[in-house]
Amino acid sequence: MHKLRSVMGTRDDKYKLKDTVELDEGFFTCDDKRKADSTSDTKKGDGDSKGKGNKTSGLGSEIKAKVEVMVESAEAEPKKKGQKTRKAGHIKMKVMKDLTSATINDIAAKSIDPSAGIIADAYPSHSKLNKIVDSVEKEVVRPEDAPKVLPWVHTAIANAKSLFRDMYHGIKEEYLQEYLDEFCYKFNRRSFGERIFDRLVVAAISYKPSFEHRLYGTKATPKCG
């Protein structure tokens, strides 16, 4: 399964997100992170000692794995009351080693087309995103308003967390990227129906899996941006 998931990720890495892209960080609780020493040091965002990088806060807690979440997002007219005012295109989710602007820019540059525009919050580590894309729209976003400003990023994060919790009942951080690759691959092909199986077969033949077998309990190098 991890070999197939790695192929899903390799296939999606061939494409870059275009047009307008919502960008924000998600924080996932992993089994091995639960046991992490809460007193150990963690890297913060550039010049930022609060918010997402705060080891004692909920979102940026060091017991959670950090993930960059990016979703193509276009304006849409709601057909029903309560529907989103934007519609989602393709999505990418990448595990990241820290919340610095260098790490975020590196992931964004590999995932987003330079001609695209980014919508993000005013987090300090987002300050240099304008170096990699045509335009960046940033605003201070209160936690309760995040689902309105970045609707599809937060829907994707919530759906992935719910899936991982209900189906797998816990994931180790070293395998998180593979599970995210599967989630994104299926999301990006949500309209394929039964054809998604045939497309996965073609991808499995076309690409070599990056996942390698190893003895249970041994550590692998984390796949972080």
What is the SS3 string spanning 113-173? CCCCEEEEECCHHHCCHHHCCCEEEEECCCHHHHHHHCHHHHHHHHHHHHHHHHHHCCCCH
pLDDT tens, position by position, 10-45: 999 999 999 999 999 999 988 766 555 443 444 334
Count H helices and E strands in the chain, helices first: 7, 5
**Which residues neighbour 201 within 8 Å (Cβ) at sequence distance 6 or greater?**
none
**Do the domain assignments include residue 215?**
no
Coil, helix or strand at residue 107? helix
Residue 124 forms part of a structural domain? yes
pLDDT of residue 108: 97
Q: How far apart are CA 43 and CA 8, in angstroms?
A: 30
Residue 43: per-residue pLDDT: 38
Is residue 222 in some structural domain? no
Q: How many CA atoms lie within 13 A of 162 on its CB side?
A: 6
List beta partners, residue 64.
29
Check: CB of residue 160 under 8 Å from CB of residue 183. yes
Q: What is the pLDDT of residues 61-115, one digit of tens each?
A: 567 899 999 999 988 777 676 667 788 999 999 999 999 999 999 999 999 999 9
Q: What type of residue sits at position 92?
A: K
Report the predicted TM-score, pTM, of the whole model to 2 decimal places: 0.80
Q: Is 136 a domain residue?
A: yes
Cα–Cα distance for residue pair 79/195, rounded to 1 Å: 28
When divided into structural domains, the chain yields a total of 1
Those residues whose C-beta lies under 8 Å from the C-beta of residue 150, and which sit 6 or more positions away, are: 22, 23, 24, 119, 120, 121, 141
120 found inside a domain:
yes
Could you tell me the residue range of the domain that residue 14 belongs to? 2-206
pLDDT on residue 21: 96
Residue 126 is part of a domain; what is its CATH number?
3.30.420.10
> CA angle, 168 as apex, 54 and 7 as ends, to 5°?
90
In this structure, is residue 224 part of a structural domain? no
pLDDT in tens, 186-205: 999 998 999 999 999 999 99
For residue 225, is it within any domain?
A: no
Is residue 218 in a domain? Answer: no
